[in-house]
Amino acid sequence: MQASADVNQRIARISAHINPPSDNLQMEGSSNLKRENCRAKGGSPGFKVAILGAAGGIGQPLAMLMKMNPLVSVLHLYDVVNTPGVTADISHMDTGAVVRGFLGQQQLEDALTGMDLVIIPAGVPRKPGMTRDDLFNINAGIVRTLCEGISKCCPKAIVNLISNPVNSTVPIAAEVFKNANTYDPRRLLGVTMLDVVRANTFVAEVLGLDPRDVDVPVVGGHAGVTILPLLSQVKPPCSFTQKETESLTSRIQNGGTEVVEAKAGAGSATLSMAYAAVKFADACLHALRGDAGVVRCAFVSSQVTELPFFASRVRLGRNGVEEIYPLGPLNEYERVGLEKAKKELAGSIEKGVSFVRK
The reply, when asked if residue 266 is annotated as ligand binding, is no
- Tell me: is residue 58 an annotated ligand-binding position: yes
Catalytic positions, written as ranges: 222
Question: Known binder of ligand: residue 142?
Answer: no
> Read out DSSP for 230-289?
-GGG-BS-----HHHHHHHHHHHHTHHHHHHHHHTTS--SHHHHHHHHHHHHHHHHHHHH
Q: Is 137 annotated as a binding residue?
A: no
| CB 172, CB 352: distance < 8 Å | yes
Query: Sign (positive/negative) of CA torsion 178, 179, 180, 181?
Result: positive
Q: Is 79 annotated as a binding residue?
A: yes
What single-letter amino acid sits at 34?
K
DSSP 53-95: TTTSTTHHHHHHHHHT-TTEEEEEEEESSSHHHHHHHHHTS-S
Does 57 count as an annotated binding residue? yes
CA–CA separation, 266 and 167 (whole Å)? 25
Please check if 172 is assigned to a binding site: no
Would the annotation count 198 as a binding residue?
yes
51 is in an annotated binding site: no
163 is in an annotated binding site: yes
**Is 8 annotated to bind ligand?**
no
- Report which of 337, 336, 313 is spatially closest to residue 325, judged by C-alpha positions: 313
Q: Are 193 and 219 in contact (CB under 8 A)?
A: no
For 175, the 3-state DSSP assignment is: helix
**Residue 22 marked as a ligand binder:** no
Residues β-bridged to residue 297: 313
**Known binding-site residue numbers:** 53-59, 79, 126, 132, 139, 162-164, 198, 273
**Known binding-site residue numbers for substrate:** 126, 132, 164, 198
**Known binding-site residue numbers for NAD(+):** 53-59, 79, 139, 162-164, 273
